[in-house]
Amino acid sequence: MAWLFYIPFWHTERFVNHLEKTSSVSVFEKNLCMNKQLLLGAEAIALGALDAGISGVYAYPGTPSTEITEYIQKNSFLREQPLRSAWSANEKTAYEAALGMSYTGKRTLVCMKHVGLNVAADAFINSAITGVNGGLVVAVADDPSMHSSQNEQDSRVYGKFAMVPVVEPASQQELYDATRYAFDLSEAVLLPVMLRLTTRLAHSRAGVEGKAVRLQNPLNALYAPERFVLMPHNARRQYNNLLAMQERLEELSELSTLNRLIPGTGRTGVLAFGIAFNSVMEVRQAFSLDLPVLKIGHYPLPRKQIEALFNSCDTILIAEEGYPVYEELLRGYFDLQNGKCIKGRLDGALPRAGELNADSVALALGVTKQEVMAIPKIMVNRPPELCKGCGHRDLYEALNTVMSLHEQHHVFSDIGCYTLGALPPYNAIHTCVDMGASITMAKGAADGGLRPAVAVIGDSTFTHSGMTGLLDAINDRSPLTVIIADNDTTAMTGGQNSSANGSKLQAICLGLGIEKTHLRTIIPLKSHLAENIKVLSEEIAWDGVSVVIAVRECIETAARKKRNPAANL
């Protein structure tokens, strides 16, 4: 079964021809539509995917990726051909559904934040082994500096791990163009393509020009059990095919316009990855530096171009917007630095953690800048807080009263607006690790002998990955109380529909095996405080698995519905 060796190759040759053609086509298209729209980077991906003819988008909300799917939801009705765009229960279900749609020959976009790819990793890695049919692009938004996340993991590592092409554009227009390109590339090499972006680009607006709309692919389901049944005999062959593809993928990187050299005559050169390119160019322009800069936006690395840069320079600054993934590779294990002087995050020329900016890059390039004004000493922090009038405030007031009566008062919690309960004045929760971990950590703590064991989780997080943990607790009879803060929405990311609320949540809990008498509902309002304290006390004191659902709509969502009744739909 050597056909997979041939088909992608045949495809890629045609693909390269196609790339050459598109450069002349784009001038024509430019004259056709000079309508620049002001779009967030995330929205530029969405528009690119719509124009590339996707038949569906699958996603779970997560900052800074949410706006990709939201844009498609708000704009797809304008399109001639209908497409699906509702939120998925989690990133794994989203990714697998996207793979299924690709199986039918259709183009599919799947979006998530970086930590969401941890949840979808099983499907993602294995989809590189099966390969795809219709173009499959996975847009992953990383959050260096952790503006809204619990870590700053670099998704390019996952791309390398899965051995699939990764594109990493540096501007909003490039995001639009690269999204379209990624679908063509995916269909040419029959692999999923990762599109990696970071917070600053996702949440920054710029003028973006759309191009001609491509129609959706027709239904063309692929009967190929030898690819999609990953039993060992198939998996081994498919994996060897993937390995054999790598050289071709590198050749495509060499041809990609996402990798390009900005020439200069200096003996110091810069290898600038993703939006680190922008910081480098900003410094180059501001201080009139004559530096050669090799912009990297398409992986695997274009080896020849990097070699050429190394040959023309004595010192190379490696600026990566993320982990020093390729700096480590280019330095080598024994830090021989390829015979050059390599600077970057690993030797302290650039900060080891956090996003790069023009200031940190200027410093690394030895540019002395003028002194700037200091922040006055009177400055105080203004941390985020739960909204005034939010139901979580009333829930935490009741819970704190109950917990204060116990000697051990640990509350395990999760990811959402209610995480803000960790801050003063409530200090009501004491863990927040990953989606769904409140229930499972409380279960483990209960198994370890902690009494009481209490978990607080939101409605959307519960359906994302809390349900299975609750099943574990029920099966194991681990005594714990799970409080589901049901505000009828995914609030922290701006109010997206959640997979289950109200009666559906109750039905899930009963179905999992919660006893009817220990499934209670409270309304977190000031006027219900005494009653809520009573219910929580009873369930927390009970030596079994109980669920208390605190039902009150998010005040932001409620206000939005009032302003715009059409949003109810």
Partner 1 sequence: MQTNIILAGVGGQGILTIAAVIDLAALQSGLTIRQAEVHGMSQRGGAVQSHLRISDREIYSDLIAEGTANLILSVEPLEALRYLPFLATEGRIVTSTESFINMEGYPAIEEIINELHRTNQPVLVNAAELARKAGSPRTSNMVMLGAAASLTGIVPEKIESSIEQLFRAKGADIVAMNIRAFRTGEAFFHHQATVS
Q: What is the DSSP letter of 78?
A: G
**Residue 406 CB burial class (10 angstroms; 0-12, 13-18, ≥19):** middle
Does 376 engage in binding with partner 1 (CB under 8 A)? Answer: yes
Does 205 engage in binding with partner 1 (CB under 8 A)? Answer: yes
Q: For residues 134 and 217, is the Cβ–Cβ distance under 8 A?
A: yes
For 93: left if phi > 0, alpha if psi spans -120 to 50, otherwise beta; the answer is alpha
Instruction: Report the nearest approach of partner 1 to the CB of residue 324 (Å).
Output: 21
Work out which of 493, 496, 546, 557 binds partner 1, going by CB under 8 A. 493
Place of tokens 């995001």: 175
Instruction: Report the nearest approach of partner 1 to the CB of residue 372 (Å).
Output: 4
Does 328 engage in binding with partner 1 (CB under 8 A)? Answer: no
Q: Applying CB under 8 A, which part among 89-97, 310-318, 372-380, 453-461 lies near partner 1?
A: 372-380
Does 275 engage in binding with partner 1 (CB under 8 A)? Answer: yes
Q: Applying CB under 8 A, which part among 20-28, 334-342, 357-365, 452-460 lies near partner 1?
A: 357-365
Residue 566, C-beta contacts closer than 8 angstroms, at least 6 positions apart: none
Q: What's the rounded Cα separation, in Å, for the pair 468 and 406?
A: 28
Q: What's the rounded Cα separation, in Å, for the pair 359 and 369?
A: 9
Does 64 engage in binding with partner 1 (CB under 8 A)? Answer: yes
Which helix or strand (DSSP H or E) is residue 285 part of?
helix 276-286
Instruction: Report the nearest approach of partner 1 to the CB of residue 203 (Å).
Output: 5
Does 523 engage in binding with partner 1 (CB under 8 A)? Answer: no
Q: For residues 464 and 420, is the Cβ–Cβ distance under 8 A?
A: no
The interface mask with partner 1, positions 384-403, x = CB under 8 A, is xxxx----------------
Q: Applying CB under 8 A, which part among 79-87, 116-124, 473-481, 491-499 lies near partner 1?
A: 491-499
Residue 337, C-beta contacts closer than 8 angstroms, at least 6 positions apart: 330, 331
* Nearest residue to 45 via CA among 94, 110, 132: 110
Instruction: Report the nearest approach of partner 1 to the CB of residue 382 (Å).
Output: 4
Does 203 engage in binding with partner 1 (CB under 8 A)? Answer: yes
Q: Between 92 and 200, name the residue whose CB sits nearer to partner 1.
A: 200
Q: Between 469 and 524, name the residue whose CB sits nearer to partner 1.
A: 524
Q: What's the rounded Cα separation, in Å, for the pair 381 and 384?
A: 10
Does 206 engage in binding with partner 1 (CB under 8 A)? Answer: yes
Place of tokens 């769904």: 436
Work out which of 186, 241, 278, 532 binds partner 1, going by CB under 8 A. 278
**Buried b vs exposed e over 332-341: b needs ≥16 C-beta within 10 Å?**
eeeeebeebe
Instruction: Report the nearest approach of partner 1 to the CB of residue 153 (Å).
Output: 17
Does 67 engage in binding with partner 1 (CB under 8 A)? Answer: yes
Q: Between 200 and 520, name the residue whose CB sits nearer to partner 1.
A: 200
Q: Applying CB under 8 A, which part among 6-14, 177-185, 215-223, 415-423 lies near partner 1?
A: 415-423
Does 296 engage in binding with partner 1 (CB under 8 A)? Answer: no
HEC readout, 1-69 = CCHHHHHHHHHHHHHHHHHHHHHHHHHHHHHHCCCEEEEEHHHHHHHHHHHCCEEEEEECCCCCCHHHH
Q: What's the rounded Cα separation, in Å, for the pair 296 and 327?
A: 13
Does 358 engage in binding with partner 1 (CB under 8 A)? Answer: yes
Work out which of 75, 126, 148, 497 binds partner 1, going by CB under 8 A. 148
Q: Between 97 and 170, name the residue whose CB sits nearer to partner 1.
A: 170
Work out which of 166, 492, 500, 550 binds partner 1, going by CB under 8 A. 492
Q: Applying CB under 8 A, which part among 93-101, 414-422, 468-476, 527-535 lies near partner 1?
A: 414-422
Supply 330's token pair. Answer: 């280019």
Work out which of 47, 48, 49, 66 binds partner 1, going by CB under 8 A. 66
Q: What is the DSSP string of 135-159?
A: -EEEEEEE-TT-SSSS----HHHHH
Does 566 engage in binding with partner 1 (CB under 8 A)? Answer: no
| 3 state DSSP class of 197 | strand
- Site for partner 1 (CB under 8 A): how many residues? 51
Q: What's the rounded Cα separation, in Å, for the pair 439 and 457?
A: 8
Which residues of this protein are in contact with partner 1, per CB under 8 A?
A: 36, 38, 63-64, 66-67, 147-148, 200-201, 203-207, 275, 277-279, 281-282, 285-286, 357-359, 362, 369-376, 378-387, 417, 419-420, 492-494
